[in-house]
Amino acid sequence: MIYRHFNAPSRAFSQFSHELIRHPRLNSDAVRLLTWQLSLPRGARESLSATARRARIGGCAFTRAKRQLKEEGFVHERRVQGPRGRWITQQLVSSTPLASAQAVKILAGVPLLTCADDVSPQVAPSPRKPAVGQPTTPPTGGHPEKEPSEDTSHLPAATSGDERSLDDARALIGVLHLLSPALRRIPPGMRDELARLAARWLDAGHTPADIHAHILRGLPGAGTPVHRPGGLVRYLLRDVPPRALPASPPPDPAAPRLSLRLEGARECAGDHVQPMLFQPLGDESLCARCAASAPDQPMPVPGGDRACVSS
């Protein structure tokens, strides 16, 4: 059982209809906003948003309450253009629901001066002062006397090699979070420092793939948390190793080879119609036939003529 005790105020009170306070389609914020506005003294210029701030009604709650009051006819708004083209929002708050035609009739009898202290009745715009001098048409046609590059300040700035490598390094560092989940929490403030370290690797000839592979090799094993990924990457990029040249590929067994009869053969340096190969017995450069005709060359052992092979 509930008991009520009520003392009628002797001053500073407002009379509201029970239908307004118990309205089934108005929430508590809408009722509070409406009753607060109706309790203001006559001639007050406080807007609905200012009342919501004083009543501690938040932005979303105020929007919802204002929409309910407008749907039920307790609040009406219209936009009118004041002096010098300034637009003014007129708000009408009523203790009883009003139709749109009734609200327009009431607002039509309210001068614009009552909506804002600095607003005067709407007047026609004053005539503009003409510009000094005679009107001229803009020049058309023809070509500029100088190259556009000398007259514009929006040309792309020339970038040096260091700037390009630094830009590549920033892009390299920006995708580290895609390599491993352990690198997803690198502080944004460390990216410039890491980019400068990565630029040293690029200047040394390393590729972005080499740098990414080096960072992945330095990460701990699976299941080991990385509490400071930025510090770990900085440690891994601190020293720049020399870039190892790719090793020459091993000989392909399927590649064509010389026949066993020609393995170890050497081309004779003598005068022949066509290249002549021979099997040297030492470090001689002439075959036995050419060595026989050259007195200053040592003679090969007998049987050297049989080692001469025509290519």
66-101 pLDDT tens trace? 999 999 999 998 888 777 778 888 888 888 899 988
- The residues, any chain, with a CB within 8 Å of residue 139's CB and separated by 6 or more, are none
Higher pLDDT, 120 or 215: 215
Token pair of 143 as six digits: 């070509």
Strand, helix or coil for residue 49 = helix
Span of 64-78, 191-205, 218-232 with lowest mean pLDDT? 218-232
The sign of the dihedral angle between the CA atoms of 43, 47, 53, 57 is: positive
Q: What is the mean pLDDT of the chain?
A: 76
* 300: number of Cβ within 10 Å: 21
In this prediction, residue 119 carries a pLDDT of 40
Q: Around Cβ 270, how many Cβ atoms within 10 Å?
A: 16
Q: What residue type is 6 in one-letter code?
A: F
Over 90: is that where the pLDDT of 250 sits?
Answer: no
CB 93 within 8 Å of CB 37:
yes
256 falls in which pLDDT band (50, 70, 90)?
low
Q: At what angle do helices 208-218 and 191-203 cross, to 10 degrees?
A: 120
Residue 24 has pLDDT above 80, yes or no: yes
pLDDT band at 25 (very low <50, low <70, confident <90, very high): very high
HSE of 12, CA atoms in CB hemisphere, 13 A: 1
- 183 vs 123 pLDDT, higher one: 183
Which residue would you say has higher pLDDT here, 139 or 288?
288
Q: Do 228 and 171 meet the contact criterion of CB atoms below 8 Å apart?
A: no
pLDDT confidence tier of residue 162, bands split at 50, 70 and 90: low
> Which element (helix H / strand E) includes 218?
helix 208-218
- Who wins on pLDDT, 211 or 5? 211
Residue 215, token pair as written in the block: 């960072």
Q: Judge whether residue 37 has pLDDT over 80.
A: yes
98 or 13, higher pLDDT: 98
In the prediction, which pLDDT does 151 show?
52
Q: Which residues contact 72 (CB under 8 A, 6 or more apart)?
A: 23, 25, 26, 97
**Lowest-pLDDT choice from 1-10, 79-88, 202-211, 249-258:** 249-258
Contacts of 66 (CB under 8 A, 6+ apart): 30, 33, 48, 75
pLDDT for residue 145 is more than 90: no
